[in-house]
Structure 1
Amino acid sequence: MMAQLPKSAQSKLAQFLGEDSNSFILNQISQQPFSHREPIKHLLIGSPKAVTSTIHYLQVIGYASVGDWSPLLPTANPAEVMSILTRSILMQ
């Protein structure tokens, strides 16, 4: 997946995952027969502009499509919204 991303996105993804990201990913792939999936929820909270911008950025780097996120939902704080994404991740 990282080979398909623009260099700037690859760099940011590598920073997020750490220097050993390739060995981590390879280890995850090799462990698949002994792994199972668990749901994880990503919650974005902020101004509508900040949340929308982050959702679009995550699409640009190939993490999640815009349509995978929930609609913007108001929070108890004025001028603040939230959106949620549920993913299944491999667990050992």
Structure 2
Amino acid sequence: MMAQLQKSAQSQLEQYLPSEDLDTPTCNQSTVKPFPQREPIKHLLIGSAKAVTSTIHYLQVIGYANTGDWSPLLPTANPGEVMSILSRQILMQ
């Protein structure tokens, strides 16, 4: 069941790529952006520290984002609630 869930989630997430190195040309690249149809998107997790941390770890397990890609847990105005943010580039079709 977990393997099916991971495979399904991974196929749904194929349109997402890490944001690093998308705008950094290499020797063989032109200065034109390689992915002109990509747009930035931000994911915001809000909840208890346990729920947010658990979700961040799950997203690493399915291969979407490393735990280090997320911002540190930041307190919200609500007691016992934190938030974390992740920025990505999404393929627009």
1:1-92 matched pairs, under 5 angstroms: 6-11=3-8, 13=9, 17=12, 35-92=36-93
Give the structure with the larger helix fraction: 1
- Name stretches of at least 5 consecutive residues in structure 2 with no aligned partner: 16-33
| 1:6-60 Cα shifts (integer Å, max 9, x gaps) | 443113x17x94xxx99xx6xxxxxxx8852110000000000000000000000
| 34 and 59 in structure 1: CA distance in 2 versus 1, 3 angstrom threshold | closer
Q: Quick check: 1:39–1:88 contact (8 Å CA) kept in 2?
A: yes
Counterpart-to-counterpart distance in 2, 1:73 and 1:49: 13
1:9 maps to a residue whose letter is Q
Identity of aligned residues (%): 73
Count residues in correspondence: 74
Structure 2: distance between partners of 1:52 and 1:39: 23
RMSD between superposed Cα atoms in Å: 2.8
Q: TM-score under structure 2 normalisation?
A: 0.67
Change beyond 3 A, Cα 1:63–1:55? same
Change (3 A) 1:34 1:50: closer
CA contact (8 A) 1:39 1:89 kept: yes
